[in-house]
Structure 1
Amino acid sequence: MRIALVIETFNPTSGGAERSTATIANHLIQRGHEVTVLTGYCPEDLPTQPGLTVKTAMLGRPRGVLRLATFVRWASRQLTEYDVSLSVTTSVPASVVQPRAGLVMQAQARSVARRDTSLARAAKRFAIACSTRQIALRLAERRTMRDPFVQQFVAISQYVARDMLRYYAIGDDRITIIPNASEMPSVDAAQRAAWRREIRQSFNIPDDTVMYLFPAIDPWRKGILPLMRAAAQLKQRGVPFVIALAGSVSHTQQRLAEQMQLREQVRMVGRTEQMAALFCAADVTVLPTFHDPSSKVIIESLMMGTPAISSGYNGASDFIEPHDTAGSRRGRVVHEPDDVAGLCQAMTELADAAERERCAKATAGLAESLTMSRHVERLEPVLEAAAEQQRKQSGHSAAASVASSTESVERG
């Protein structure tokens, strides 16, 4: 098939949906398909990917309303040139829509919810209501979710599927749930032990100290404030622990640690390409996120056999506490991310080595089912069905056009 992948910006080195889109494209190419990425922006020095074509609408990121509108119009016009299209953004209605960042409506609602006070929530709600870009994103999403050109929606978690029903009344018959996935190396016990020893020594973390890993590019949305508050309570309980902050780290997080009197318990890792090693060094991954359609870091942690704690607003939490299997918890889920007492209790329970071992054993076999190869294997038939439906619609349109022309000639 000739497949178009639609995404607002395309820079696989930045991670997130952009990296996932590049990985999906690569797997589709390996399966024999012709893949073109339609994007509003990509870096001039974008690394080439064999077999992948990238078409760009403009120079500059489509963040402003005009640039966003230009991208949406340009991308929508391109789609008829392909057998099928997959949009990972809700701004553009393609044959198949897979909102890898979730729905705009839910993201905005959760952005309000994570504010600490009613005044702060009211201010954020007002700011969103007045933002021309946020208005444009809501309108574009509404058009996409109601556009008859869309054959099927793909949700990367039950969380996203519920949002589709909640905000746009899209039923189960139009939603295929294909869980989010990732790529992680296969590591033997010797390598795991070596990484654990090396990283803990470099950050001065004793082997008998519980290491909680907090990996986040957007630490405030991912719940660093409730994490630090829970950690302060954990310290009062006398639990020996360290929190390693990986991702975006600034003086703001350092000041927060000092205010919470946790400076000795916090290690600033920063951005790193060594996440597999960090997961092996850590005892528990903690991400009390306020909104995450399906967090890759939680998936990757479990793939590496490291238990995790997250919130009910993370689609990946379904893997931590599966709904269909009793006694197979791979960590803890605290429904509300700002439930500090509940988060502290979850961290306390997983400070117990025996409990961590039980959770780690429950991850056995999970890695194989969460690979991107398996994800694309399930996505491919959805694209094929949408392509078939698109061909039928094109055939009906062509037949109707011929019939109309014939009728006009006969009347003439």
Structure 2
Amino acid sequence: MRIWFLTPTFPPVHGGSETQIYTLAAGLVRRGHQVDVLTERYPDTAEREELLGVRVHRVRTDATRWSEPDRVPWEERAFGLLGDAERVIGSGGVDILQTFCQVGALLGAMMRDGVGCPLVVTMNETTPDTDPFGASRSRLVFGQLPYDAMVVGSRAYREQAIGYGAAPGRVHLARYGIEAGLYGGADEREIQHARSWLGVVPDDPLVLLVGRYKERKGQRELVRAMAGIVARHPRARAALVGSLNSASAMYQRQLEDDIDALGLREHVLLRGSDRAFGAMRALYGAADVVVQPSHAEGLGLSAIEAVAAGRPLVAASVSGLSEVLECCPGTVPVPPRDPAALAAAVCALLDDPERAAADARRAEEAARREFTAESMVDGYLKVYERLRAASGRTAGETACVETVSP
């Protein structure tokens, strides 16, 4: 099959959704399919490149043309990407059009009949209702757009989709998975290099949180918990590793203010996520405990990565993360928005490293069984092949299909 992905962000941008999309694309290529990705072009990225056999086409939003006399700025903002899509993708010869967010689904719905193939949508927005007109936009996207199937990565995403009006028969669960080999097995040299990059000396207990700098990730709870952790383990350090892409610079400044107010400047380190894709295993390997105190998650890929790397995990028992906690015995649940409970759980693991390591090994075995890239690829392919069979097409043929129900 020839499959086109539409996504506003893609590696080298870091984040759970970017990792999931790249892992899926590479897995489809390994199965013999052609995958092209249309995405935003950032500085220092090529207009076209190939990553693990995935062909990536990058276009740059040209805001300067909005003010040109022959342009209507509103139309350019809303529909300008259609011109790029038509130029890069063209029409015909596409078997599946796949999108990964609400704006992608809107773009794909406008393109669907013109490209002449089924549209499959996946939504990676965890709390879309917090955006302007988020609830009404979600009801439109989930309940009214002419997509042919929706694939979701967790039970939480399935509940969200149906809650906003998606027909249950068109929602297919393909749990997000990871390439476990990318996360475990870091050697001592890699680990010490990671600790040096973070600014942590070899013997300091290290608590790691990976996630974009945004309120729902719960970084402020970890900063506040560190006051209690340091009282018991004076050499403990916390490293917060994340990006500001699709995040909040104001929230990052609030974290800085909290760190200063609590006198934790030497104990809490903020770092950007400018590591090479696939290099996260050294960061996880360097950690004594990984925490994910999010207020909400669709699933929590960084939590799965940490467990697959053999690290003890403390995570908030919220929708999405609860699925990881349930599937991986040996992980530690804590109530959300509770710095005291988070501190107590981390200290318990630091107090008894042998027990923490044994529980982490148990959880690692489960994660490597329950959250695999191959299972995720299988789930998407079942949907793609069913849609293609329903249209009576063979690979590369061009024909439009009507919306189908399983």
Q: Same fold (TM over 0.5)?
A: yes
Q: In the TM superposition, what are the counterparts of 1:93-242 in structure 2 within 5 Å? A: 93=109, 95-99=119-123, 101-102=124-125, 106-109=127-130, 128=131, 134-135=132-133, 141-147=138-144, 149-168=146-165, 170-171=167-168, 173-185=169-181, 191-200=186-195, 203-205=199-201, 207=203, 209-237=204-232, 241-242=236-237
Matched AA of 2:356 = R
Quote the Cα distance in structure 2 between the aligned partners of 1:196 and 1:56. 34
Contact 1:321 1:333 in 2 (8 A): no
1:70 equivalent to 2:65? Answer no
Which ranges of structure 2 fall in alignment gaps of 5 or more residues? 64-72, 110-117, 245-251, 394-398
Quote the Cα distance in structure 2 between the aligned partners of 1:216 and 1:187. 16
Quote the Cα distance in structure 2 between the aligned partners of 1:396 and 1:307. 47
Quote the Cα distance in structure 1 between the aligned partners of 2:360 and 2:297. 23
Q: 1:255 to 1:139 in 2, by over 3 A?
A: closer
Contact 2:330 2:362 in 1 (8 A): yes
Contact 2:20 2:176 in 1 (8 A): no
Aligned residue number for residue 331 of structure 1: 331
Quote the Cα distance in structure 2 between the aligned partners of 1:220 and 1:87. 26
Quote the Cα distance in structure 2 between the aligned partners of 1:304 and 1:165. 33
Contact 2:194 2:283 in 1 (8 A): yes
SS in 1 for 2:217: coil
Aligned residues: 357
Which of 1 and 2 has greater Rg? 1
2:269 to 260, 267, 270: 267
Contact 2:48 2:57 in 1 (8 A): no
Matched AA of 1:387 = R
SS in 1 for 2:269: strand
Q: Which moved more, 1:68-77 or 1:380-389?
A: 68-77
Quote the Cα distance in structure 2 between the aligned partners of 1:259 and 1:220. 18
Q: 1:23 to 1:390 in 2, by over 3 A?
A: same
Quote the Cα distance in structure 2 between the aligned partners of 1:241 and 1:331. 21
C-alpha distance after superposition, 1:327-370 (max 9, x if no partner):
x523222342x122322232233223133123212134333653
SS in 1 for 2:209: strand
Per-residue deviation, 1:279: 0.7
Q: 1:343 to 1:10 in 2, by over 3 A?
A: closer
Q: 1:47 to 1:294 in 2, by over 3 A?
A: farther
Q: Which has the higher contact order (CA 8 A, sep 6+)?
A: 2
1:88 equivalent to 2:111? Answer no
C-alpha distance after superposition, 1:169-224 (max 9, x if no partner):
643x33222222233546886x53444455456734453x4311022232533111
Contact 1:4 1:79 in 2 (8 A): no
Matched AA of 1:69 = A
Q: 1:235 to 1:396 in 2, by over 3 A?
A: closer
C-alpha distance after superposition, 1:54-76 (max 9, x if no partner):
56777348xx9745631676669
Per-residue deviation, 1:297: 1.7
**C-alpha RMSD over aligned residues:** 3.6
1:300 to 305, 313, 316: 305
Quote the Cα distance in structure 2 between the aligned partners of 1:215 and 1:36. 28
TM-score (norm 1): 0.73
TM-score (norm 2): 0.74
Quote the Cα distance in structure 2 between the aligned partners of 1:263 and 1:57. 40
Quote the Cα distance in structure 2 between the aligned partners of 1:284 and 1:25. 31
SS in 1 for 2:139: helix
Per-residue deviation, 1:85: 2.2
C-alpha distance after superposition, 1:128-173 (max 9, x if no partner):
5xxxxx33x65554333224732322111111112122232643x3
Per-residue deviation, 1:396: 8.6
Q: 1:199 to 1:96 in 2, by over 3 A?
A: closer
1:342 equivalent to 2:344? Answer no
SS in 1 for 2:215: coil
Q: 1:241 to 1:138 in 2, by over 3 A?
A: same
Which ranges of structure 1 fall in alignment gaps of 5 or more residues? 110-127, 129-133, 323-327, 398-412
Identity of counterpart residues, as a percentage? 22
